[in-house]
Structure 1
Amino acid sequence: MSHDGVGTRPGRGSVMRAAAFLTAGVLALPVLSGCSDPDPAGKPLAGQDIAPAARARIADGGTLRWAVDSVPETLNTFQSDADTTTSRIAQATLPSMYRLDESGRPERNEAYLESAKVVETEPKQVVLYKLDQQAVWSDGREIGAADFAAQWRALSGKDSAYWTARNAGYDRIQKIERGDNDLEVRVTFARSYADWQSLFSPLYPKEVMGTPDSFNDGARRKLKVSAGPFTVRKIDRKGDEIRLTRNPRWWGEPAKLNEIVLRAVPRDERAAELAAGRLDLADVDPAAARRIAIAAPRPKNPSASPSRTPLMGPDLRKLTPVQRKDKERFHGFEVRKSLEPAYTQLALNGGGDGPLADERVRRAVARALDREKIAETVLRPLGLPTEPVGSHLALSGQAAYADNSGAVGGQDTAEAQALLADAGWVPGGPVKEKKKGEKAAGSEADKTGKKEEGKEKEKGSEAKTDKKSDDGTYIVGEDNKGADEQDSRPLAQDGKQYGGKQLSGGAPGAYAPQGTAAPAAATRQLAKDGKALTLRFVVPDGEGSGTLRTVADRIGHMLKRVGIRTEITKVSDESYFKDHIASGQYDLALYSWPASAFPATDARPIYAKPVPAADGSLNVEQNYTRVGTDQVDQLFEQAVSTLDESESRSLIRKADSRIWAAAGSIPLYQRPQLTAARTNLANAGAFGFGTPVFEDMGFLKKGAAGQPAPTAS
């Protein structure tokens, strides 16, 4: 999972999503745009920042040293322990029938496919793939129907001997057969499948997919056969390194680089490795990005590309001695930035019998949030667009995107308070006094009835100061500092990513400092049946999660204005997702979801209505907010079953409106993507939505160095 990172999910590239949010209720929903209206998908908020250059300007040869988060446990993207590095290796070494363009939309990969289209819809859907006649595996064998069929059988879900992490889409296939010649593959579906372009990307050879043993173990530590611009030459687990080398049998444009070395480097060590000349390309956290940006010349016309605007940093004319040293250390590097195809959201746990099981309380939380201010806080210092995310299922620029946040409504303190009153939470109700030494309400010790020794009654319920218990719990809403003043504090940025096994540096956030008089709206505690309205806000305590902790603090003060207290509880990075999010031991939490080009397939398990399992437990799939409805489930099934693209998008947008209305989760902002790169490295950096084109990466020829890169069309 990701705390401001990505979660693991059975989705594209085996980067697995993990969370969900929905609920029932007869609610007014916004009317979807008609065909005559402008496309609500819009454009990506930030484009790629990869220093594009024509191949003629790039030198032949060289080694690209690229920082990754781990040496993966498996090279099979369809296994549960695959990670983001597994996906990166697959992109460079294996066929993908489709890849994503700069807007996050699937496009045919011409290196493998001459064409692919639905040729029949009745009585069954049939897709005909016509393969490039030069497409061969690294052992010389042609890519063909046998490889497609082996992958279908392995991932269909019919044979439990295959240890697969996902089978979505493959379980709808009825048969795969050779077409009129060896270059044609006919795929017949038992049930119509709108997201058929998601299949066979990546495609593994039949030697990997052919038997359970070869699937389970054959591709974990090596890829004997591949078919991309690069091949896996060596995996050095002791040295934390994967070496990819140019594929001599590659039939497309030859790779410019001789080698790509993927090095596992912790994020808090990457700045030092870059300065020492041991890396050429690395995703970095905001603090490191600001240091590196000092050394890079500022663009002459930053308005031409929003992603090229400089980071907010010191005046270059007034550098400190340390900053001047950084300017020397990082000479030859620059920061390339965009927005990740992922967003951070506030999850509200609607399971159990807590306050958030009531939809009115969840909607009150949503109406209390100023999402614009939260997005600005995180992204404005980085010079990135600050528009809040308006959809759970897609991001701006993707085909299914539309801003459906109107289904729950914008920030409105009066409306939030009215919803709470309607749910029975009123100010001034009798609340049992909390005694000194007790765990804060909602903590694990409180739930088990255990109490600390040395209990004494607290004093001054109207003017309390921040309390910190031994378990790392802070109460937001009991300080005396004005919320507006609190919200103006500088943001501590982070660079952490989970699920993809990314851990990095950053600065710890701050919690509810002591101050002066609190806003009147927050001075009287809301209560119901003798119990105060306090929500447990769980955050990770790692060095790289400063942004999350600061955002949690800001949210706590926004909720305080409507009478909701939050107790911010720091937990270890290792237990954050497993022991709290996945197990439902939280009220509020922050983590991120990657966007998908195929939301009807990939988002369904995240928003599926939880159902009782045979053993009496609740099967939530990946719906960790435990909020779901039959109607949303039906809309997903309809969207994935129709072959009319316009109708499918409309159904996805309707599902998203209902997810918003249920207020199980609140999308906040698209995650920043900051990449340090050598200034002479072309066609690599902050890729945004787009799939990297590995054969075009390389270092500019000496005569081309310093020349402006052509603008991507």
Structure 2
Amino acid sequence: MRTRRMHAGRGARLRCAAVVVAAGMIVAACGGADESAEGLTATIGTTSDVNPRGVEELREGGNLRLATTSYPANWNTLSNDGNEAEIADILRPLMPRSYDIDAAGKLSVNTDYFTDIELTSTDPMRVTYTINPKAVWSDGSPISWEDIASQANAMSGRDKRYLIAITNGFEFVDKVERGVDDRQAILTFTTPFADWRGQFAGNSMLYPKSVTGTPEAFNTSLVDAIQVTAGPFAVTATDRAQGRITLGRNPSWWGATPKLDTITYSVLDRSAWVQALQNNELDLALLSTIDDVKSVRGTEGLQVRRAPGNRWRHITFNGSPGSILADPAVRVAISKAIDRQGIVTAMQNGLVENPVPLNNHVFLQGQEGYRDNSLGFDPEAAARELDALGWVRNGDLREKDGRKLVIRDVMYNDPTWVQIAQIIQQNLAAIGVGLTIDTKPAAGYFTDVIQPGDFDATQFTFQGDPFPLSSLRQIYYYDPGDLQGNYGRIGSPELNALIERTLTELDPAKSIDLANQVDRAVFEEGHSLPLFQSDGSYGARATLANMGSPGLASYDYTKIGFMK
């Protein structure tokens, strides 16, 4: 069940240097495996590592200091510009979500916002949301059925002026009606939708109707800042120039009082996070290499927290007309020449006991439904297939109709992404395919580069959650008039139809089987290649409680704080 709500957050930045050894293979110059990897597998499980403490053990107040790699391009995570994991991280203490999630991915209704969420009919399918009568937006207005109805309309995809990141099943919602009062919404579906529980959960937060009511408001009203929220915290100060965002307690909050006074986000290049943690400028930071782990372990007052991570790296190809990879057979051949096991071994040796590549686009390792549907590493087959397609090797490179088979691989300017690209570069050179490494800054990476399709191949990160099916349409369904997250512009009518069948199947076993058929078809389209999951390592201030490496779990921001 490797869900992923395409929260294509910026890729984690590894500081590990790449070196070329005599055999020509690039490996991580990060030391060998040691006790740091003991007990850590590469699979999602039922664990989290957050230093769980009762609120009575925490001191009142305090400022939690966190980092992000760039200032939000758009505070609306439902929009294509705001659909990034780091933006969602900042917004989670601020916005309503329908479910709380534990480390095993088990759901429970988030009673701060809803007293009940129920599938009340299957023919036609109806879901009833009953809103907590105390729930209000930060401007004092009640959260009502109209907010749900407005968001359902905006996300339906029917009005193409809404620049949505994902329909999230709202394309199947026929109508949203007022229930017994303004605090109840009844969604009626035209067809069943398998992942209905995820429509206002995970990263798909509920926004006020003032944001979703018109295309203009949806697309642009949150570009500079967010005004109306409904969480235990609210935005109290922002400074784009200084790269600083401050959250303070929301005076309109009706739930448990947060232990923290404030949460401060600082914009920092990923390479500076560990040093900032060591310098007592941050309280929590994602770690990416064995060197990061050793640095944190060697610093008094810090500790490593880790549970298997739900973010995963991948490479997406560009299949648009005129692209060097427009032919799916070429993409598939190239996919077979990329040694993903070699990549994960180089990147995670010492961080994970037995590093293995991720072999599914839909489910994370360890989640129910995970199967290996990949095409495998077979460079000899790749070479034969390119020969048969007329790409003839001439010296170091293959050519066809006067065009050299050279791919421009675009990525965030980060040493780890570059190291991965260098491994791929050597893999492809062995079969006569060139690869040019083209790095970009974090600012504008998605809006200016990825969304317009300015790449032959690109690397970034997706994020998993317990709702694996909604993102199938977002990423792998191909509609030239509504790309959503299908930045490679790759797909087929057959794949679209299979995705539709999967999304409308309410039987869990059947939907899992169909989702795996989708996954295999995605591999066979040469759409993209999953590489590996995050190892989930974080460096934390030892006194920080109820926060760290959560696995699939969601945080309760009222319980995060510092020990007495």
> TM-score, with normalisation over the residues of structure 1?
0.65
Does structure 1 conserve the Cα–Cα contact (< 8 Å) formed by 2:6 and 2:463? Answer: no
Moved more, 630-639 or 147-156: 147-156
In the alignment, structure 1 residue 554 sits paired with structure 2 residue 423? yes
One-letter code aligned to 2:248: T
In the alignment, structure 1 residue 90 sits paired with structure 2 residue 91? yes
**Separation of aligned partners in 2, 1:171 and 1:539:** 32
**Separation of aligned partners in 2, 1:590 and 1:257:** 36
Does structure 1 conserve the Cα–Cα contact (< 8 Å) formed by 2:46 and 2:104? Answer: no
In the alignment, structure 1 residue 371 sits paired with structure 2 residue 337? no
Following superposition, the deviation at residue 218 of structure 1 comes to 5.7
Question: Radius of gyration: which is bigger?
Answer: 1
In the alignment, structure 1 residue 415 sits paired with structure 2 residue 418? no
Correspondences of 1:633-652 after superposition (within 5 Å): 633-652=496-515
Correspondences of 1:119-134 after superposition (within 5 Å): 119-122=120-123, 124-134=124-134
- Structure 2, gaps ≥5 residues long: 12-41
Structure-2 residue corresponding to 1:710: none
Does structure 2 conserve the Cα–Cα contact (< 8 Å) formed by 1:292 and 1:334? Answer: no
Structure-2 residue corresponding to 1:234: 237
Which of 546, 559, 563 is the aligned partner of 1:696?
559
In the alignment, structure 1 residue 333 sits paired with structure 2 residue 333? no
Moved more, 351-360 or 227-236: 351-360
Does structure 1 conserve the Cα–Cα contact (< 8 Å) formed by 2:328 and 2:525? Answer: yes
Structure-1 residue corresponding to 2:351: 382
Structure-2 residue corresponding to 1:170: 170
**Separation of aligned partners in 2, 1:138 and 1:363:** 50
One-letter code aligned to 1:423: L
The 1:147/1:357 distance shift into structure 2, 3 A limit, reads closer
Q: Give the 3-state SS of the residue equivalent to 2:310 in structure 1.
A: strand
The 1:687/1:384 distance shift into structure 2, 3 A limit, reads farther
Correspondences of 1:232-311 after superposition (within 5 Å): 232-286=235-289, 289-290=292-293, 292-295=295-298
Following superposition, the deviation at residue 644 of structure 1 comes to 2.6
Following superposition, the deviation at residue 378 of structure 1 comes to 0.6
Identity %: 31
Correspondences of 1:129-140 after superposition (within 5 Å): 129-138=129-138
Structure-1 residue corresponding to 2:546: 683
The 1:333/1:16 distance shift into structure 2, 3 A limit, reads closer
In the alignment, structure 1 residue 50 sits paired with structure 2 residue 53? no
The 1:352/1:98 distance shift into structure 2, 3 A limit, reads same
**Separation of aligned partners in 1, 2:399 and 2:309:** 41
Following superposition, the deviation at residue 637 of structure 1 comes to 0.9
Correspondences of 1:199-210 after superposition (within 5 Å): 199-200=199-200, 201-209=204-212
Following superposition, the deviation at residue 11 of structure 1 comes to 4.6
Following superposition, the deviation at residue 232 of structure 1 comes to 2.5
The 1:133/1:16 distance shift into structure 2, 3 A limit, reads farther
Does structure 2 conserve the Cα–Cα contact (< 8 Å) formed by 1:292 and 1:335? Answer: no
Correspondences of 1:427-506 after superposition (within 5 Å): 431=394
Structure-1 residue corresponding to 2:493: 630
Q: Give the 3-state SS of the residue equivalent to 2:370 in structure 1.
A: coil
Does structure 2 conserve the Cα–Cα contact (< 8 Å) formed by 1:130 and 1:185? Answer: yes
Following superposition, the deviation at residue 99 of structure 1 comes to 4.4
Does structure 1 conserve the Cα–Cα contact (< 8 Å) formed by 2:10 and 2:85? Answer: no
Does structure 2 conserve the Cα–Cα contact (< 8 Å) formed by 1:14 and 1:78? Answer: no
**Separation of aligned partners in 2, 1:415 and 1:349:** 22
Q: Give the 3-state SS of the residue equivalent to 1:185 in structure 2.
A: strand
Does structure 2 conserve the Cα–Cα contact (< 8 Å) formed by 1:47 and 1:338? Answer: yes
Following superposition, the deviation at residue 662 of structure 1 comes to 2.8
Structure-2 residue corresponding to 1:401: 370
Does structure 2 conserve the Cα–Cα contact (< 8 Å) formed by 1:58 and 1:700? Answer: yes
The 1:105/1:553 distance shift into structure 2, 3 A limit, reads farther
Does structure 1 conserve the Cα–Cα contact (< 8 Å) formed by 2:8 and 2:460? Answer: no
Structure-2 residue corresponding to 1:326: none
Deviations 1:543-591 (A, max 9, x none): x2x2222222222333344x32324343444797677755556554433
Aligned length: 526
One-letter code aligned to 1:362: R
Structure-2 residue corresponding to 1:303: none
- What is the RMSD of the two structures over their aligned residues, measured on CA atoms? 3.7
**Separation of aligned partners in 2, 1:96 and 1:538:** 36
**Separation of aligned partners in 1, 2:488 and 2:332:** 14
**Separation of aligned partners in 1, 2:228 and 2:429:** 58
Q: Give the 3-state SS of the residue equivalent to 1:685 in structure 2.
A: coil
One-letter code aligned to 2:382: A
In the alignment, structure 1 residue 535 sits paired with structure 2 residue 536? no
**Separation of aligned partners in 2, 1:677 and 1:332:** 9
Q: Give the 3-state SS of the residue equivalent to 2:350 in structure 1.
A: helix
One-letter code aligned to 2:125: Q
**Separation of aligned partners in 2, 1:144 and 1:541:** 40
One-letter code aligned to 2:280: G
**Separation of aligned partners in 1, 2:326 and 2:537:** 38
- Structure 1, gaps ≥5 residues long: 1-9, 18-41, 296-329, 432-460, 462-477, 479-524, 614-618, 702-713
Deviations 1:392-415 (A, max 9, x none): 12212444532212xx2x233443
Q: Give the 3-state SS of the residue equivalent to 2:436 in structure 1.
A: strand
Q: Give the 3-state SS of the residue equivalent to 2:230 in structure 1.
A: coil
One-letter code aligned to 1:336: R
**Separation of aligned partners in 1, 2:539 and 2:62:** 18
Does structure 1 conserve the Cα–Cα contact (< 8 Å) formed by 2:310 and 2:536? Answer: no
Does structure 2 conserve the Cα–Cα contact (< 8 Å) formed by 1:46 and 1:385? Answer: no
Does structure 2 conserve the Cα–Cα contact (< 8 Å) formed by 1:384 and 1:672? Answer: no
**Separation of aligned partners in 2, 1:89 and 1:579:** 22
Following superposition, the deviation at residue 663 of structure 1 comes to 2.9
Deviations 1:44-81 (A, max 9, x none): 16943322223333223222122223343543333443
**Separation of aligned partners in 1, 2:454 and 2:155:** 33
The 1:537/1:214 distance shift into structure 2, 3 A limit, reads closer
Following superposition, the deviation at residue 632 of structure 1 comes to 1.0
Deviations 1:529-551 (A, max 9, x none): 7876x432424483x2x222222
Does structure 1 conserve the Cα–Cα contact (< 8 Å) formed by 2:94 and 2:233? Answer: yes
Following superposition, the deviation at residue 333 of structure 1 comes to 1.7
Structure-1 residue corresponding to 2:15: none
Does structure 2 conserve the Cα–Cα contact (< 8 Å) formed by 1:80 and 1:165? Answer: yes
One-letter code aligned to 1:92: P
Q: Give the 3-state SS of the residue equivalent to 1:646 in structure 2.
A: helix
| Higher RCO (CA 8 Å, separation ≥ 6 residues) | 2
Deviations 1:182-220 (A, max 9, x none): 543222223433232232342233455456676566655
**Separation of aligned partners in 2, 1:57 and 1:344:** 37
**Separation of aligned partners in 2, 1:12 and 1:554:** 25
**Separation of aligned partners in 2, 1:79 and 1:265:** 24
Which of 353, 356, 360 is the aligned partner of 1:391?
360
Q: Give the 3-state SS of the residue equivalent to 1:180 in structure 2.
A: coil
